[in-house]
Amino acid sequence: MSTASSEFKIQARRLTADLHHRQVIQTALGKYEVVRDKTKGAFQDWSAARQAAAEIKWEAINHLDKYLPQFVERLEARGTKVHWASTGTQAREIILAILEQKKAKCIVKSKAMTSEEIHLNEALARAGYEVVESDLGEFIVQLRQEAPYHIVFPAMHLARGEISEVFTRELGSAPTQNPEDLTLIARRVLRQKYLAADVGFTGANFAVAETGMISITENEGNARLTAALPKTMVTLLGLEKILPRLEDLALFLPMLSTMGTGQPLTCYNSLYSGPRQLGEPDGPEEYHVILLDNRRTELLADAEQRDALHCIRCGACLNVCPIFRNVGGHTYGTTYSGPIGSVLTPHLRGLQEWKHLSYASSLCGACTETCPVKINLHHHLLHNRRNAARQRPALGEKLAFRIFALVMNHPRVYGLAAKAGRWLQKLHPLVKGGRLDPARAWTQTRELPPVASQTFKEYWRARQPGQ
């Protein structure tokens, strides 16, 4: 068992036993579902919208060779410096080089899961820079020295009291349970940081190839300030963020917010196309865009699972996933959690080390049903399982399934096994639930039904003496 796998099990055991956590998450996501459904209802034809979105992403991902150069060319034409990073290490080096060149001290960041993916904050802190997250949820988890709990709602696991507590401890503010007061405390701190920052760092929700623009979706206005106030702006994005045309945003912006938060549109949607142009009164003097691969092109080469690159990071699959809802976001130990994380992480960070996430699913398919870009999520979990078992079979398990196949293929042996089971289950109460119980994983929390006194096959044979 990999380290990540045993850690996952330990955390899953802890969180599934935490009934308060279960209550908080179920309630929050229950509310989300109500609002999401109402907003979805405003679409004339949701299933047609999903189909269109899936086709547009298919077009973009299958023609990255055309759209990426187009995107870069348009961005560069307006004076943006574009960088290509094959790995997380390269991306960090590029960013550190920019900061050094700018003699920066303080960096203000808006929400970017790609920066979590490359562990940017840790690298910047190690190099002596001050980094401040400006998204309220990210700001809170940064103060708590935690990873985001959810790709859209980083602090959804925290109650007001816990937020007040960390503000009091880290910022010296007076304790309060009032959400407005809490927001104002964060705002007071952050406004100073926007002014002090030398570099503003953002992620991207979409990258429009046609016009060479970055699209950022947000609710707090923090990304706008991050992009507008510091003299230098840096955007890090995965190369799958591409959309072919500007008009595609007419579908994707409402779709992202509908599935992300249940809003018809988020409060702010901004497009960035380069540094301040001649005659423009504001904007950054210098703009850097870093396109991150980090094994995305390996996934691109996998025709079976390529559609996982369609993901727009709306978080909808996490919200409906009964696994996520019971184990919570941190248990995964990954940047991307929930069903999309379980599909992607084995590709981004190694199949054998992360295959357990693909097994930790009942394959219920709620994720695939909800995904706005129609990624075949739960079938990809099956594909990951197959690839993992093919590449490195667990010998005991393989043997068990060989025996299983043998028994199932020989009805006589199967019949004998049924009889043996019926006899052996009389002894089961002696070991039930204990260390010697072969069915312990089941019987610790559940009763096991007995093998029937007459199986269906026995009934059928008794009825048909000729057979």
Partner 1 sequence: MKVTLFIPCFVDLMFPKVGISIVQILERLGHSIECPRQITCCGQPAYNSGYWDEARGVARKVLQSLEAAEVVVIASGSCGAMLKVFYPELFTGTAQADAALRLAGKVYEFSDFLVTKLGITELGARFEAKVTFHDGCHGLRELGTYDQPRKLLGKVRGLTLVEMQEKTCCGFGGTFAAKFPMISTAMGEVRCAVAKATGAEYIVSNDSSCLMHLQGLLDRQRSPLKTIHLAEVLAQS
Interface with partner 1 by CB under 8 A: which residues? Answer: 9, 12-13, 16-17, 22, 26, 322-323, 325-327, 359-366, 368-369, 382, 385-390, 393, 397-398, 401-402, 404-405, 407-409, 411, 414, 418, 421, 441-442, 444-452, 454-461, 467
- For residue 307, count other CB atoms closer than 10 A to its CB: 23
N- to C-terminal Cα separation, the chain: 48
181-190: Cβ within 8 A, 24+ apart? 183/136, 186/136, 186/139, 186/140, 190/108, 190/132, 190/134, 190/139, 190/222
Q: Smallest gap, in angstroms, from Cβ of residue 42 to partner 1?
A: 22
Q: Are 72 and 267 in contact (CB under 8 A)?
A: no
Nearer to partner 1, 9 or 119 (CB): 9
| Residue-wise DSSP of 61-72 | HHTHHHHHHHHH
Pairwise CA distance, residues 106 & 128, whole Å: 10
Pairwise CA distance, residues 188 & 177, whole Å: 17
Nearer to partner 1, 256 or 320 (CB): 320
Pairwise CA distance, residues 183 & 144, whole Å: 16
Q: Smallest gap, in angstroms, from Cβ of residue 266 to partner 1?
A: 26
Q: Smallest gap, in angstroms, from Cβ of residue 109 to partner 1?
A: 33
- For residue 161, count other CB atoms closer than 10 A to its CB: 10
| Edge-to-edge strand ranges of the sheet holding 232-238 | 81-85, 286-292, 232-238, 199-202, 106-109, 130-133
Nearer to partner 1, 230 or 372 (CB): 372
Pairwise CA distance, residues 251 & 232, whole Å: 31
Q: Smallest gap, in angstroms, from Cβ of residue 257 to partner 1?
A: 23
Q: Smallest gap, in angstroms, from Cβ of residue 355 to partner 1?
A: 8
- In whole angstroms, how far apart are CA 416 and each of 101, 162, 363, 438? 76, 59, 31, 19
Nearer to partner 1, 191 or 392 (CB): 392
Nearer to partner 1, 173 or 358 (CB): 358
Q: Smallest gap, in angstroms, from Cβ of residue 218 to partner 1?
A: 30
List the alpha helices (DSSP H) in 113-178. Answer: 113-117, 120-126, 136-143, 160-171
Nearer to partner 1, 281 or 456 (CB): 456
Nearer to partner 1, 26 or 192 (CB): 26
Query: 201 forms bridges with which residues in the sheet?
Result: 109, 234
Pairwise CA distance, residues 359 & 342, whole Å: 9
Q: Smallest gap, in angstroms, from Cβ of residue 147 to partner 1?
A: 20
Q: Smallest gap, in angstroms, from Cβ of residue 248 to partner 1?
A: 28
Nearer to partner 1, 134 or 368 (CB): 368
Pairwise CA distance, residues 78 & 82, whole Å: 11
Q: Smallest gap, in angstroms, from Cβ of residue 310 to partner 1?
A: 19
Nearer to partner 1, 17 or 301 (CB): 17
Nearer to partner 1, 183 or 444 (CB): 444
Q: Smallest gap, in angstroms, from Cβ of residue 410 to partner 1?
A: 9
Query: Taking phi first (over 0 means left), then psi (-120 to 50 degrees means alpha), and beta for anything else, what does residue 313 get?
Result: left
Pairwise CA distance, residues 368 & 321, whole Å: 10
Residues in the chain: 467
Query: 355 forms bridges with which residues in the sheet?
Result: none
